[in-house]
Each structure stands twice: as C-alpha cells, then as structure tokens.
Structure 1
Amino acid sequence: MTDHTDHIQHTWHLTHPTHGPLTITLWVDDETVQVEGGDGESYSTGDGEGRPEIETYLLPKYQQQEGYTLVRDYAVNPPNNTPLPDDRPDGCPQCGQPTEYVPHHHDGTREGPAWMCTGCRWGQWSAGI
C-alpha cells in the first residue's frame, strides 16, 4: 500500500480475534479494489463497479465466511468522475499490480497524463482522453 491517500475513495477496516487486521480500499477510479491482509486481493473490476463488488462479495466473504468484524469505514476522497482514457494497461508489466491514472504525472523532465503502477510505480504515458 502506498503512503499517500489521493487515490483512495473509501476504506473499510476489519478485525479478527485470531488473524491480523484487514483493510479494504476502493480507489477513486471506482474500479480498483485492494485488500491488505486476508487473501490480499488486488484487482480492477474494469467496469466502475468496485463498490458493489466490495459490498456484495468482499465484506460478506470476510465477515460471514471468515469471521471478521467491521470496525470502521469512511470516505477518504470523492470518486473521480472524470472519464479515463481507454489506453489503460491490463496491469503492470513489471510486477502485475493494477495501475492508476495520474492526470498530471511529472517525471522530472515531462508532465502529463500517465498510468502508474500501484506497486513498483512503473509508468506509461497516456495518449489522453
């Protein structure tokens, strides 16, 4: 998980009596879902349906099937309703993690829209919208 929260729309924190804590995050793109702890899922729904995926699949999975308790959930940032370019990579070619759209990425010499890996921070410039 990264140290900044600009990309996070909503967070759910769960605990378990014998397992470690679990955090589920929905990113502002309404597609990317990450689970820290538990089974460590990390994926993009690809259809803007991240919240329903969390509410109908992940929360019941961890609460009802695996015995976790939801202790807190809160909004972090509003959803990003800006349409994203169609050139999103399926995943990072370096480490396989999902990518996030950064409209004003700056690499020291160039600034512009880019898809950045959420793990290793690999990047690919976007053609734009």
Structure 2
Amino acid sequence: MIRVVACLAALAIAAPALAAPAMAEPMPKHVGDCAKTKVARIETRLIDGDGKPVAGSGSAVDFVNGGYQVSYDQVAAIDASRPGDPAEVCLVSVPKGCPKGDHRGKIYKTVNLRSHGQWTLPDAEHSCGGA
C-alpha cells in the first residue's frame, strides 16, 4: 500500500510535466497574420564545429512552433529572452520572385510577452535566391 501511495504521489508531481507539449500556433503564412508561440532556444547566429556559440556573431532565436529568426547583429531583446517565454510573431513581409522551393527571406516582427522586448528580423541569413 505504501508503494502505491508513493507511486501516486510521484505521478501527481510529474503530471504537469507529462501534459501535452507547449501548445503553439503555426507560424503565420499571410502578411499581417500573427501567431502565439514560445521561445524554444536563444542562440548566437553562428555555432562552431564543437557545437559552441560563436560570441559576437549575432543573435538567433528558435520557437517551439518551428519558427526561427536571425540577425548578424546582437539583438538585446533576443538576448534578454529565455526559453519558455511566450511570444507573438507576426509576418511583416514575404519576398517576391523567389526561385521555386526557396522560401527564405520572410520578415517577422516578434514581441516577447514576458519582457515586452521586440524585434523585426528575417527567418534566414539570406533572402531567397541569395547565398
């Protein structure tokens, strides 16, 4: 009986962590649309061959819904963000005349709903058709 009670207590403590993964809306597809998501990871723009961040290479952010933004500059609002922070990401522009299958270059405005920091950045280092 003690074992059952201990197992039930452990399950009750773990239950919130076992709940469905963080719910996030998909990245917006039309200019002017927005999506609620969460910050998954804060990174530098470049990672070295050992998987370590390259200081001074710029800022990057991954979202739990698969979104990504990157800058050659250090962005203070991104650096102040933390994994798990709620965010609203809005599609600002989509490049025109891209080669078939090259979807890079969308620009998103993001507001960190915890810190209220915001930034407007692309989803890739180069726009479609670029390097």
Superposition TM-score, scaled by structure 1 size: 0.28
Larger Rg: 2
